[in-house]
Amino acid sequence: MSDIIQLLPDHVANQIAAGEVVQRPASVVKELLENSIDAGALEIKLILKEAGKTLVQVIDDGKGMSVTDARLSFERHATSKIRSAEDLFKLNTKGFRGEALASIAAIAHVELKTKQENDELGTCIVIEGSEVKSQNVVVTPKGTSVSVKNLFFNIPARRNFLKSNTVELRHVTDEFHRVALAHPNIAFSMFHNGGEQFSLPATNYRQRVVNIFGTKTNEKLVPVEEATEVLTVSGFVGKPEFSKKTKSEQFFFVNNRFVKSPYLNHAINAAFEGLLKDGYHPTYFLNLTVDPQTIDINIHPTKTEIKFDDEHTLYAILRSSVKHSLGQFNIAPVLDFDS
């Protein structure tokens, strides 16, 4: 009998994990923006080249990292956000898995510059395919800048699988919108191939929706507000006459995190029953706040799926609060919009 099992080297384990965390440039955008938010940034800038295939850079004015932390941040399961398994049930950060930077660094060329407020100088780390190339002292502003170049440089199959720049940029823009909508109090900007795509000042939620989706959106919005013991709902639904053939303006945020939930989406559809023409979908921008102990977001590495303890109650509250709002705004059933 001979033993054949071996532990994989770190860079191989990181590359495998990266397969789950990073599907495309938009995944990198999401992880970096979320890290900047967790760092308490008030202003976040996203810079892209070729839809993020050759460059995704995120610059923030957050709290930065010490020299040692900057190096540790690229280790797998290295996180400042949880200390124990119990912390998973009282999360108030986007991150907690300590996987993103390690994964990204396994499959791209990464340069991180960071400085904490009271430090004179910052640190700059260059890391390529999990291999640290250099770490130097640099002059850099307070906060963190992460540049991710040549995504999937060492996994040609993944690189070839990427779609056209138009399609990849759409994914990036979707991700940018989701994060920006969840945090109207933070200023965001986005640049692509040198041109400014979005410049979103810090504002309130209604204005953030309008700044992203256009001034005409303002008149479409019906406020939804509900506070119960298990769930607080706030945000907007679009008036029925502004429903769309696509689902591109449907947003649920749970505790400030964009989530996909076909079940809760159904609750909104139910509230709109009789108000929409066939083939049209309601638009909504809804923030749900629940006790973090009643949800599990650790279902998938990208964290866009959530498990709720009591889905049925949330469904009922959501449906009735949206129905109530639509009713208050005197929106009576209209079966035929053309007449």
Burial of 313 from C-beta contacts in 10 A (0-12 / 13-18 / 19+) = middle
For ligand ADP, which is the closer residue by CB, 83 or 245?
Answer: 83
Question: How far is Cα 285 from Cα 234, in angstroms, rounded to an integer?
Answer: 9
For ligand ADP, which is the closer residue by CB, 47 or 65?
Answer: 65
Instruction: Report if residue 95 touches Mg ion, rule: CB under 5 A.
Output: yes
Question: How far is Cα 258 from Cα 180, in angstroms, rounded to an integer?
Answer: 10
144 binds, among Mg ion, ligand ADP, none (CB under 5 to 8 A by kind): ligand ADP
Tokens matching residue 233: 């709902």
For Mg ion, which is the closer residue by CB, 21 or 286?
Answer: 21
CB burial readout 189-200, b (16+ within 10 A) else e:
bbbbeeeeebeb
Residue ranges of the alpha helices (H) in the chain? 10-21, 25-38, 67-72, 100-106, 156-161, 165-182, 205-213, 262-271, 311-328
Contacts of 272 (CB under 8 A, 6+ apart): 237, 240, 243, 282, 322, 326
Residue span binding ligand ADP (CB under 6 A) among the ranges 8-16, 45-53, 74-82, 128-136 = 74-82
62 binds, among ligand ADP, Mg ion, none (CB under 5 to 8 A by kind): ligand ADP
Strand 187-192 and strand 43-49: pairing? Answer: parallel
For ligand ADP, which residue of 17, 27, 28, 60 counts as binding (CB under 6 A)?
Answer: 60
* Interaxial angle between packed helices 165-182 and 25-38, expressed in degrees from 0 to 180 and rounded to the nearest 10: 20
Residues between 28 and 67 with contacts to Mg ion, criterion CB under 5 A: 35
Judge whether 262 and 301 are in contact, CB under 8 Å.
no
Residues between 153 and 172 with contacts to Mg ion, criterion CB under 5 A: none
For ligand ADP, which is the closer residue by CB, 298 or 313?
Answer: 298
> What is the residue type of 35?
N
Question: How far is Cα 168 from Cα 192, in angstroms, rounded to an integer?
Answer: 12
From residue 212 to residue 251, what is the string marking binding to ligand ADP with x (rule CB under 6 A)?
A: ----------------------------------------
For ligand ADP, which residue of 28, 39, 254, 297 counts as binding (CB under 6 A)?
Answer: 39
For ligand ADP, which residue of 98, 129, 289, 304 counts as binding (CB under 6 A)?
Answer: 98
Instruction: Report if residue 15 touches ligand ADP, rule: CB under 6 A.
Output: no
Residues between 115 and 174 with contacts to ligand ADP, criterion CB under 6 A: 144
Residue nearest to Mg ion (CB): 95
17 binds, among Mg ion, ligand ADP, none (CB under 5 to 8 A by kind): none
Residue span binding Mg ion (CB under 5 A) among the ranges 27-35, 61-69, 109-117, 182-190 = 27-35
For ligand ADP, which residue of 46, 101, 155, 187 counts as binding (CB under 6 A)?
Answer: 101
Residues binding Mg ion (CB under 5 A): 35, 95, 100
